[in-house]
Structure 1
Amino acid sequence: MDTKIYETYLDILKEELVPAMGCTEPIAVAYAGALSRQVLGERPDEIKLVVSRNIIKNVKSVIVPHTKGRKGLKTALCAGICYGEADSELEVLSCAKDEEIDQLDEYLEKVSLSIEEATSSYPFDIDVYVKKDEEKAQVRIVNDHTNVVLIKKNDDIKLKKEITDAPIQINENRKLLSVEKIFEFAKEVKIEDVEQVIQRQIDYNTAIVKAGLTGKYGAKIGKILLNSYGNTVHTRAKAWAAAGSDARMNGCELPVVINSGSGNQGITTSIPVIVYAEELGVSKEQLYRALVLANLVTIHIKTGIGALSAYCGATSAGAGAGAGICFLYGGSYSDIAHTIVNILAINSGMICDGAKASCAAKIASAVEAGLLGMQMNKHDSQFYNGDGIVVKGVENNIKAVCELARNGMRETDNEIIDMMTKKNK
């Protein structure tokens, strides 16, 4: 395999498959808050938060970990300011102490805090302004959960990154992704090069699944699936993934390993593959290779969509999971390509209406689509060019879905956010 592509794919896995505690959008807000306090040097008494509408959507209804069940932008930001550790990035709230959490209510009551919608075109935009007496600071994050583009203390610019006018900016290394090369990489990668990052995903994500199956979280979708449809591998693949989301969306303080900036996508991509690997009795090496493929397929599909949109990211992750399970069954590149096309034809269009308890049910639906897409291929059935949005070739299908999600669903996204904010007040 080409050395440049090999090293790039390793880099992508290491960049993407990182731990995060809690839903990543409120955690990104908490991270911005912690960083702004760090720059200011003390807790501010005046704060202005300017965020894109998609951030408002994804933070509104999800519980922020280590806040005793609280939700919302103010909670996430003030938790980050009060006791967040900026150096921990997406695990910014992981070191919170009980006495610090107890002080959050008092700080929320006394701080002067305003929230405004961003006027920029970036779906992912968090801009925090803080002030204490005569000292002030600003931190801005754009396009990615930890992509800090501006740090300013008074008039001193400590960091500034150039950002283009394009709402979605694709890293150059992501442009080297293709399903054919991903399949080749999964077959050839040296296990020692991926073992650490993949085993961490297995350990973290199965731990939060166990919490979801044993605890009382959210709508308990994982438990309901198992109680209603039995303990078959097909049901477990959906139920375990849903249970991880049950826990994560509803305050569980265990970290997950994310994919494409999302814990739910990390869970959806990995857990069904892990469940099927156990059922099939494959080797640890084969599981690693299947997860490498599943993760890179998810990243490949999600790259052109962007971090936040009206298109539910679980759909992309379900495609990754379906491709990974197909790989476990010994599927060829052609089998995996057809599986991905089938999956994208089935579930594309499922909307994202923010992070909340119902994400678990959407994950179950995405995994179901992944399994159906794989079974269609196993039974020599597939969707063809001209069947709805299906076009010829897996890469063309991925491109078409990205355009649908990024451009075609833009007004859908605006309507969703209006429904969640103005119309529901």
Structure 2
Amino acid sequence: MSLESLFLDALQKSLKPALGCTEPLTVALASAWARYYSCGELKSMDVKVSANLYKNAAGVFVPGTGMTGLGIAAAAGWWGGDPRQGLQVLSTLDEKALVAAKQSLSSQTLKVSYCDHPDVFYTHISAQTDSESICVLMGHCHDGLMQVQVNGDVCYEQSTEKPFASSSEQLDKKWSVAEIVRFIEQVDLKKLAFIEQSATLNVALSELGERDSMGLAIGAQLRQQQRRGYISDDLSTEAMILSASASDARMAGAPLAAMSNSGSGNQGIAATLPVVAVAKRLQSSKEQRLRALAMSHLLAIYIKKLQSPLSALCAATTAAMGAGAAINWLLGGDIQQVEQTIRYMIGDISGIYCDGAKPGCALKVSTGAQAAVKAALLALGGRAPLSDGVLERSVDESLKHLGELTLSALIPTDQAIIGWIAARQN
């Protein structure tokens, strides 16, 4: 596969519209598939997921329900989801279905539990109706349907290729920050046209979040303080407000889809909106803006490929490294300065942990946006961070170190966080 084909394929596979947080959507999708293959009245349902998926679903609002957690996600998927819509499975949820879903939570036996499993996307649903038993297995990615059994007979089975590398050694050696920048600068612009949808979807989400002060209203509050004159009207603030507002809306269960990156809406937001904010302020051309968006998304994909798909490292902040690099490029940075932007960000915000999907994610998204602008500007000055700590002289080696933390050192941190979240659910 040519380098151009490799990168375009990665962009097309990793950018997907998603209505709501993708971890509860996985459970809603599995439940909707169970309903799709059944014909009876639901009597009971048992939901079992990986510990990481549980962590990222327990505290986030499920679109259209006003409720949090995997229980309502499973119930909404069964009563009102359309599995053929993929990560927009709950776009068909209506009031009648919602009433039935909420009733099932109180009247039906619906159990949710988690387990240690090598596949962080592991989701197993066992449903019993008045006429059959249905088992649905999902894995490898958020929308990866692997097997469906009805009364013990396999009626669907699919081996799904993993979309993420589990370690840096498994990543194609063609990937590097420099190669991505060269690709973005040279590729036919028409081949990147589909990237524009990321801006369309995520800007709409941001506008809704700010207008309606959704979730923690981080974006709306920052805008209010800006109008009072307490914070300035500059690149950094605008990047924070646009990004935080979109995350506010998404984590509050907004009825609009985000363009996700590598399976995460917040990663998609973090890779999109800081670039949109800066491009607007700089009055960048449509071509510059589109290439910068593609660069940000592709770098975010590369950085995530070096990490565990779900871990104790906040991937929204590492996705923002792609935005920082693209902002530096919009400001006239060359390949070396783009690389130094990422190194600055690794040295700045690489220690932010993921403690589950929740409204507070908007805080971390805003931090990533602010750091992206700061690093982009610092890199223009020509100085480079020293090679120490997690940083190597090579930006690619530095990113590998960051990924290695998620595969080993941060596992005990992840386990501690999952334990705290589980204790609050009981």
TM-score normalised by the chain length of structure 1: 0.94
The residue that corresponds to 2:228 in the other structure is none
Q: 1:108 to 1:118 in 2, by over 3 A?
A: same
The residue that corresponds to 1:60 in the other structure is 58
The residue that corresponds to 1:318 in the other structure is 320
The answer to whether residue 253 in structure 2 is matched with residue 251 in structure 1 is: yes
Gaps of 5+ in 2: 226-230
- How much has 1:133 moved relative to structure 2? 3.2
User: How do residues 53-132 of structure 1 correspond to structure 2 at under 5 angstroms?
Assistant: 53-67=51-65, 69-132=66-129
Which amino acid in the other structure matches residue 407 of structure 1? S
User: How do residues 155-234 of structure 1 correspond to structure 2 at under 5 angstroms?
Assistant: 155-157=152-154, 158-161=156-159, 168=166, 176-195=174-193, 197-228=194-225, 229-234=231-236
- Percent identity for Structure 1 against Structure 2: 31
**Counterpart of 2:42 in 1: which secondary structure?**
coil
**Counterpart of 2:207 in 1: which secondary structure?**
helix
Matched residues in 1 for 2:72 and 2:114: separation?
A: 17
Deviations 1:22-66 (A, max 9, x none): 111111110111011112244532211111111111111111001
The residue that corresponds to 2:407 in the other structure is 406
Matched residues in 1 for 2:67 and 2:357: separation?
A: 14
The residue that corresponds to 1:279 in the other structure is 281
**Counterpart of 1:258 in 2: which secondary structure?**
strand
- Aligned pair partner of 2:21 in 20, 23, 32: 23
The residue that corresponds to 1:364 in the other structure is 366
Which amino acid in the other structure matches residue 213 of structure 1? E
Matched residues in 2 for 1:97 and 1:171: separation?
A: 46
Query: Is the deviation greater in 393-402 or in 126-135?
Result: 126-135
- How much has 1:73 moved relative to structure 2? 0.7
Gaps of 5+ in 1: none
The residue that corresponds to 1:151 in the other structure is 148
**Counterpart of 2:37 in 1: which secondary structure?**
helix
Q: How many residues align?
A: 419
Matched residues in 1 for 2:376 and 2:232: separation?
A: 21
The residue that corresponds to 1:45 in the other structure is 43
TM-score normalised by the chain length of structure 2: 0.93
**Counterpart of 2:90 in 1: which secondary structure?**
coil
**Counterpart of 1:205 in 2: which secondary structure?**
helix
Matched residues in 1 for 2:168 and 2:136: separation?
A: 22
The residue that corresponds to 2:135 in the other structure is 138
Matched residues in 2 for 1:119 and 1:371: separation?
A: 38
Query: Is the deviation greater in 147-156 or in 176-185?
Result: 147-156
Computed over aligned residues only, the root mean square deviation of the Cα atoms, in angstroms, reads: 2.1
Matched residues in 2 for 1:381 and 1:41: separation?
A: 65
Q: 1:28 to 1:423 in 2, by over 3 A?
A: closer
- How much has 1:351 moved relative to structure 2? 0.8
The residue that corresponds to 2:397 in the other structure is 396
Query: Is the deviation greater in 153-162 or in 256-265?
Result: 153-162
